[in-house]
Protein backbone atom coordinates (compact mmCIF):
# COMPACT_ATOMS: atom_id res chain seq x y z
CA UNK A 1 0.00 0.00 0.00
CA UNK A 2 1.55 3.31 -1.08
CA UNK A 3 0.78 6.85 -0.02
CA UNK A 4 1.42 10.04 -1.98
CA UNK A 5 2.38 13.44 -0.59
CA UNK A 6 2.36 16.56 -2.79
CA UNK A 7 4.24 19.70 -1.80
CA UNK A 8 4.55 23.01 -3.61
CA UNK A 9 8.14 24.13 -4.25
CA UNK A 10 8.07 27.82 -5.07
CA UNK A 11 5.62 28.99 -7.69
CA UNK A 12 6.65 26.64 -10.49
CA UNK A 13 7.39 23.18 -9.09
CA UNK A 14 5.72 20.36 -7.18
CA UNK A 15 7.55 17.73 -5.14
CA UNK A 16 5.81 14.36 -5.15
CA UNK A 17 6.81 11.83 -2.49
CA UNK A 18 5.72 8.20 -2.50
CA UNK A 19 5.95 6.28 0.76
CA UNK A 20 4.61 3.11 2.31
CA UNK A 21 3.18 2.17 5.70
CA UNK A 22 6.64 1.96 7.29
CA UNK A 23 6.82 5.77 7.21
CA UNK A 24 4.40 8.21 8.83
CA UNK A 25 2.95 11.24 7.11
CA UNK A 26 4.38 13.41 9.89
CA UNK A 27 7.92 12.23 9.13
CA UNK A 28 7.41 12.79 5.41
CA UNK A 29 6.19 16.34 6.07
CA UNK A 30 9.13 17.05 8.37
CA UNK A 31 11.73 15.80 5.88
CA UNK A 32 9.94 17.45 2.96
CA UNK A 33 10.11 20.84 4.66
CA UNK A 34 13.92 20.62 4.78
CA UNK A 35 14.17 19.35 1.21
CA UNK A 36 11.92 22.12 -0.14
CA UNK A 37 14.18 24.79 1.37
CA UNK A 38 17.23 23.24 -0.29
CA UNK A 39 15.45 22.79 -3.62
CA UNK A 40 14.36 26.43 -3.60
CA UNK A 41 17.98 27.54 -3.19
CA UNK A 42 19.08 25.30 -6.05
CA UNK A 43 16.26 26.37 -8.38
CA UNK A 44 16.82 30.06 -7.63
CA UNK A 45 20.51 29.68 -8.44
CA UNK A 46 19.75 27.89 -11.71
CA UNK A 47 17.21 30.52 -12.75
CA UNK A 48 19.64 33.33 -11.92
CA UNK A 49 22.40 31.69 -13.98
CA UNK A 50 20.03 31.29 -16.91
CA UNK A 51 19.08 34.98 -16.75
CA UNK A 52 22.74 36.03 -16.79
CA UNK A 53 23.42 33.77 -19.76
Q: How far apart are CA 23 and CA 30, in angstroms?
A: 12
Per residue in 6-36, pLDDT (tens digit) is: 999 998 899 999 999 999 999 999 999 999 9
CA nearest neighbour of 32 among 12, 5, 13, 10: 5
Tell me, yes or no, if the pTM score tops 0.75.
Answer: yes
Instruction: Write down the domain spans for the chain.
Output: 2-52
- pLDDT at residue 44, as a whole number: 92
- Give the confidence band of 1 by pLDDT, cuts at 50, 70, 90: confident
The rounded distance, in Å, linking the Cα atoms of 1 and 6 is 17
Amino acid sequence: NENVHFCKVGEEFILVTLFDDRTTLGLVRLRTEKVVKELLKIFEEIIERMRRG
